[in-house]
């Protein structure tokens, strides 16, 4: 559908730019943060339709940040996709078990990345 607002929480500028550019070309609006702490604040203020969460962040890690978003009544229904450089086969299962709504490995495959964004947006947050 596009036009949805997506919050990108990623400390690497090149990864952030790639996500932003790909999403904006497809019609999505984006906001960004380099840290989980600022990302949590943006999620509360902007109520994005989706959060893309890097796992390895300076300060608070992405898993802790996701759990804080899911624990807050104001942000608990925002779907969150984990974005990680760890491509271990059991990692997808463990990230979804932690509470993420989707999972992507870095470097991202543009086709898989967009398909996962569309799938998670269509599904909405888990109840």
User: For residue 98, is it within any domain?
Assistant: no
User: For residue 100, is it within any domain?
Assistant: no
User: For residue 126, is it within any domain?
Assistant: no
User: What CATH number does residue 50 fall under?
Assistant: 3.40.50.2300
* pLDDT tens figures, 47-106: 999 999 999 999 999 999 999 999 999 999 999 999 988 766 568 888 899 999 999 998
Of 39, 36, 48, 46, nearest in space to 6 by CA: 48
Domain of 13 in residue numbering reads as 1-88
Torsion region of 69: left, alpha or beta (phi above 0 gives left; psi -120 to 50 gives alpha):
alpha
Place of tokens 């984006």: 30
User: For residue 109, is it within any domain?
Assistant: no
Mean pLDDT of 10-24: 96
Whether pLDDT at 9 is above 50: yes
Mean pLDDT of 16-40: 97
The model's pTM: 0.94
Concatenating the DSSP letter of every residue in the chain gives ----EEEEE-S-HHHHHHHHHHHHHTT-EEEEESSHHHHHHHHHHH--SEEEEESS-SSS-HHHHHHHHHHSTTTTTS-EEEEES---TTHHHHHHHHT-SEEEESSPPHHHHHHHHHHHHHH-S--
User: For residue 99, is it within any domain?
Assistant: no
Number of domains in the chain: 1
Alpha-carbon span 32 to 19, nearest angstrom: 10
């Amino acid at each position: 559908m596009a036009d949805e607002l997506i919050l990108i929480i990623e400390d690497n500028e090149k990864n952030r730019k790639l996500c932003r550019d790909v999403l904006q070309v497809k019609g999505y609006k984006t906001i960004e943060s380099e840290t989980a702490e600022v990302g949590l604040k943006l999620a509360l203020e902007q109520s994005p339709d989706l959060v893309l969460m890097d796992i390895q962040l300076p300060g608070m890690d992405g898993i802790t940040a996701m759990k804080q978003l899911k624990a807050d009544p104001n942000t608990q229904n925002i779907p969150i996709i984990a974005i990680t450089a760890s491509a271990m086969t059991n990692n997808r299962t463990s990230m979804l078990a932690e509470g993420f709504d989707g999972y992507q490995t870095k470097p991202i495959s543009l086709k898989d990345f967009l398909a996962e964004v569309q799938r998670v947006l269509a599904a909405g947050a888990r109840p």
